[in-house]
């Protein structure tokens, strides 16, 4: 596109990327593409006991599945629920993508996406996702995980972190209103959400959206609590925003409603060396 | 694949399908929004696929608080049985690596559902028009041979302009370069059209040349253009505001302004 001053600007569309005509791929290109696809595949790694029970098409008995997406959501669950130490680690998901960090020794993915099951009530599952799941992996992640769970009378709760910069509202949000919760639920969800429903024209994206899509289409009761925060990274105020959800979760899960500040401190880095730039 | 949201699978036999291409300015998708919103169409199912980026939101066509809290997914099918019309709305980008798979999915779904014809609403970069395309109306159409058999007269009467084939290398007088179809910024439009020709699908493409920006007037133009052919609205007045804007079309260009700014 040329402007009045004669300079030529590249024009970008927000809807489509540059057209790439499907060129004839030679065998080598095909192979590279296939290998890349294989590398990006989502893999579930269950504990031996769970793998055994999942053999021959059996599914995990599950009445409540709680998924935390993001650092604050994951830390909230760690502090209020997983701290009661009645949980077994039963599996993890690995999904390599461009944002995965190659760490020597223990791979970063080891701790990034973990499944826990309650010792006394094995139909309650928790999953914490603190790594980035790429757009092309979201559907696969959801399908593979839900393929292992039985769907009848399953209740899914998703806690998801997001930035308040993504929140669209006609009234300007002063600094005081963030962090806050908004909810979105499937048609099969019969309960009352603990907070206001997400207003138009806001949408949910990422893993929370992939889970909602799956549950809507397969008629599973699911609710997403999206927390809009103005802080990037772990923050105790943001974590506390999820507290109203405890009233719902507490019905089927034993939890710690008032954790000690020490427990909270473990998950919140108060001073980051790199953020000394703006004291 | 198509999953019904009702207790039984709906029948689309002899229905007309209208669907958008995710293209420059999102004009096709906006026009489809107008159609669904104005005709108050009800959702009959989802296209559940790994080809689209996942997103979810509340009912974008909500007219009251009661139907406001209904979850909607990236690709949904709406129907108006009395008009024998079905509409597919696509709300998310197609993953770059899955465009071929998505086209194949659509072709096979259209075939197996028994649609009498399908119309794709699309758009193309205005800045890439050549000299002849710069003049006159920005609206163009394409039909597959299969649809041309039945609709040739109707299209002639409407006086529409067919999308021109342009030389691959303008200015070069090399005799080998044949003019070919080019829809820059049209997403999967061109490939979907050629696939449909091969598969003998009765398909039409309606597109307009536009640029990114406030594309609402473009959406109205495209919707009216489609209406001239399919007569979806029985309101014969020439008013431009016979289309109902959905509630999701708010804050398209950002939040409210902070008062402290002034």
Residue B19 CA to residue B29 CA, distance in Å, equals 8
Residue A169 CA to residue A1 CA, distance in Å, equals 33
Q: Does B249 touch chain A (CB under 8 A)?
A: yes
Q: Does A201 touch chain B (CB under 8 A)?
A: yes
Residue B127 CA to residue B214 CA, distance in Å, equals 16
Contact A13 B24 (CB under 8 A): yes
Dihedral of the alpha carbons of B189, B193, B196, B202, in degrees to the nearest 10:
100
Query: Chain A residue with minimal CA distance to B2?
Result: A217
Higher pLDDT, A106 or B104: B104
Residue B156 CA to residue B140 CA, distance in Å, equals 13
State percent of chain B over pLDDT 90.
70
Q: How far is A11 from chain B (nearest CA, A)?
A: 9
Radius of gyration for chain B, computed over Cα atoms and rounded to the nearest angstrom: 19
What sign for the dihedral angle of Cα A94, A97, A102, A103? negative
Dihedral of the alpha carbons of B110, B113, B114, B116, in degrees to the nearest 10:
-50
- The token duo for A6 is 């004669």
Residue A139, pLDDT > 90, answer: yes
- Average pLDDT taken over every residue of chain A: 84
Name every chain B residue with its beta carbon within 8 A of the beta carbon of A139. 49-50, 54
Name every chain B residue with its beta carbon within 8 A of the beta carbon of A140. 50
Q: Band of the pLDDT at A208, cuts 50, 70, 90?
A: very high
- The token duo for B146 is 């299969």
Residue A179 CA to residue B215 CA, distance in Å, equals 33
Q: Does B253 touch chain A (CB under 8 A)?
A: no
Q: Which of B73, B247, B250 is the closest to A217 by Cβ?
A: B73
pLDDT of residue A251: 75
Q: Which of B48, B57, B96 is the closest to A202 by Cβ?
A: B57
Query: Chain A residue with minimal CA distance to B261?
Result: A172
CA separation (Å) from A216 to A208, B89, B109? 12, 17, 21
Contact B251 A168 (CB under 8 A): yes
Residue A103, pLDDT > 60, answer: no
Question: For the residues A84-89, what does the mean pLDDT come to?
Answer: 86
Residue B25's Cβ-count burial label (10 Å; 0-12, 13-18, 19+) is buried
Higher pLDDT, A28 or A221: A221
pLDDT digits (tens, 9 = 90+) for B203-237: 999 999 999 999 999 999 999 999 999 998 876 55
Check if the beta carbon of residue B17 is closer than 8 Å to that of residue B115: yes
pLDDT digits (tens, 9 = 90+) for A14-59: 777 766 655 567 888 889 888 988 999 999 999 998 998 888 778 9
Name every chain B residue with its beta carbon within 8 A of the beta carbon of A212. 56, 71, 73
CA separation (Å) from A229 to A53, A100, A226, B183? 40, 24, 10, 41
Alpha helices in A85-158 (DSSP H): 135-147
Q: How far is A48 from chain B (nearest CA, A)?
A: 29
Q: Does B259 touch chain A (CB under 8 A)?
A: yes
Residue A86's Cβ-count burial label (10 Å; 0-12, 13-18, 19+) is middle
What sign for the dihedral angle of Cα B27, B33, B36, B37? negative
Residue B51, pLDDT > 80, answer: yes
Residues in chain B: 262
pLDDT of residue A271: 47
Residue A226 CA to residue A197 CA, distance in Å, equals 10
Q: Band of the pLDDT at A231, cuts 50, 70, 90?
A: confident
**Sheet of strand B75-80, all strands in order from the earlier edge strand to the far edge:** B2-4, B42-47, B75-80, B85-90, B16-20, B117-125, B203-210, B139-143
pTM for the whole thing? 0.90
Residue B214: CB atoms within 10 A of its CB come to 10
Of A108, A72, A115, the residue nearest A90 (C-alpha)? A115
Chain B (118-157) residues lying within 8 Å, Cβ to Cβ, of chain A: 125, 127
- The token duo for A167 is 């929140």
């Amino acid at each position: 596109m040329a402007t009045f001053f004669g300079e030529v600007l590249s024009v970008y569309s927000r809807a489509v990327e540059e057209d790439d005509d499907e060129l004839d791929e030679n065998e080598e290109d095909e192979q590279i593409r296939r290998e890349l696809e294989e590398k990006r595949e989502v893999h579930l790694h269950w504990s031996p006991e769970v793998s055994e029970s999942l053999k021959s098409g059996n599914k995990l008995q599950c009445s409540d599945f709680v998924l935390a997406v993001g650092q604050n959501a994951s830390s909230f669950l760690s502090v209020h629920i997983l701290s009661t130490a009645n949980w077994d680690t039963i599996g993890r998901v690995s999904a390599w993508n461009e944002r995965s960090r190659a760490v020597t020794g223990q791979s970063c993915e080891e701790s990034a996406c973990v499944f826990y099951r309650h010792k006394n009530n094995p139909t309650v599952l928790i999953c914490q996702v603190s790594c980035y799941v790429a757009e092309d992996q979201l559907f696969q992640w959801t399908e593979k995980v839900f393929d292992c769970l039985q769907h009848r009378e399953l209740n899914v709760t998703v806690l998801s972190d997001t930035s308040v910069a993504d929140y669209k509202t006609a009234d300007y949000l002063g600094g005081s209103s963030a962090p806050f919760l908004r909810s979105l639920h499937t048609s099969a969800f019969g309960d009352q959400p603990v907070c206001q429903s997400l207003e138009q024209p806001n949408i949910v994206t990422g893993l929370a959206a992939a889970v909602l899509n799956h549950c809507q289409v397969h008629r599973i009761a699911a609710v997403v609590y999206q927390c809009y925060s103005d802080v990037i990274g772990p923050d105790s105020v943001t974590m506390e925003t999820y507290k109203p959800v405890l009233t719902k979760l507490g019905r089927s899960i034993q939890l710690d409603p008032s954790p000690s500040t020490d427990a909270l401190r473990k998950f919140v880095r108060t001073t980051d060396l790199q953020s000394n730039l703006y004291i | 694949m198509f999953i019904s949201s009702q207790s039984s699978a709906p029948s689309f036999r002899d229905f007309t399908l209208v669907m958008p291409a995710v293209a420059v300015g999102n004009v096709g998708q906006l026009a489809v929004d107008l159609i669904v919103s104005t005709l108050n169409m009800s959702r009959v199912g989802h296209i559940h696929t790994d080809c689209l980026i996942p997103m979810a939101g509340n009912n974008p066509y909500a007219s009251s608080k009661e139907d406001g809290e209904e979850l909607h997914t990236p690709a949904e099918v709406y129907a108006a049985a009395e008009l024998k019309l079905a509409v597919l709305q696509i709300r998310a980008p197609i993953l770059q690596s899955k465009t071929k798979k998505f086209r194949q999915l659509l072709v096979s779904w259209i075939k197996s559902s028994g649609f009498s014809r399908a119309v794709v609403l699309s758009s193309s970069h205005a800045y890439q028009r050549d000299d002849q395309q710069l003049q006159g109306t920005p609206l163009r159409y394409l039909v597959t041979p299969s649809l041309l058999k039945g609709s040739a007269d109707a299209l002639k009467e409407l006086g529409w302009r067919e999308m021109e084939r342009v030389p691959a290398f303008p200015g070069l007088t090399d005799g080998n370069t044949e003019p070919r179809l080019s829809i820059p910024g049209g997403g999967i439009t061109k490939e979907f059209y050629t696939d449909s020709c091969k598969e003998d699908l009765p398909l039409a493409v309606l597109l307009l040349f536009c640029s990114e920006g406030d594309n609402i007037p473009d959406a109205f133009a495209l919707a009216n253009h489609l209406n001239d052919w399919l007569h979806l609205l029985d309101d014969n007045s020439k008013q431009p505001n016979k289309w109902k804007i959905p509630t999701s079309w708010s804050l398209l260009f950002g939040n409210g302004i902070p008062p402290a700014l002034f």
